[in-house]
C-alpha cells in the first residue's frame, strides 16, 4: 500500500502553479499561485477587487508561470525549483 514519489512527480508532470489559469483564492480575497508558498510575499500575486475584477502583479505572475515559456521540466513540475526557502 502507498505510492511512489517518483511516479507522482514523474516525467511530464506540470504543477498547478505553473498553469497560467490556476489560482488559489484566499479567504481575504488575495490571490496566490501555490499552496506550498501560500504565506510568503512571493506567493501572493494579487487580489479580487470589490467589483469582482482581478488585480494581478504581472511580474510575480510571470515568475510563477515562467516554466511555460522556458520549457524547463524542473520548473514546470515545481516552480520553486532552485529557490531558497523564504
Question: 73 φ, ψ to 5°?
Answer: -65, -30
CB atoms within 10 A of CB 70: 8
Question: What is d(CA 78, CA 13) in angstroms, rounded to the nearest whole number?
Answer: 9
pLDDT at 83: 77
Report pLDDT for 5.
41
**Coil vs helix vs strand at 73:** helix
- Domains of the chain, by residue range, sit at 22-77
pLDDT in tens, 61-72: 999 999 999 999
For 2-57, the pLDDT digits (tens) are 544 444 444 578 999 999 999 999 999 999 999 999 889 999 999 999 999 999 99
Residue 66: its H or E element:
helix 66-70
Is residue 74 predicted with pLDDT exceeding 60?
Answer: yes
pTM above 0.85, yes or no: no
Q: Which residues pair with 44 in a beta bridge?
A: 32
Amino acid at each position: 500500500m502507498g505510492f511512489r514519489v517518483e511516479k507522482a512527480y514523474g516525467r511530464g508532470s506540470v504543477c498547478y502553479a505553473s498553469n497560467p489559469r490556476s489560482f488559489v483564492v484566499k479567504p481575504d480575497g488575495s490571490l496566490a499561485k501555490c499552496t506550498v508558498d501560500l504565506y510568503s510575499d512571493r506567493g501572493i500575486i494579487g487580489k479580487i477587487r470589490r467589483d469582482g475584477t482581478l488585480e494581478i502583479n504581472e511580474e510575480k505572475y510571470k515568475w510563477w508561470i515562467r516554466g511555460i515559456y522556458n520549457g524547463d521540466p524542473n520548473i514546470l513540475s515545481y516552480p520553486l525549483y532552485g529557490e531558497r526557502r523564504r
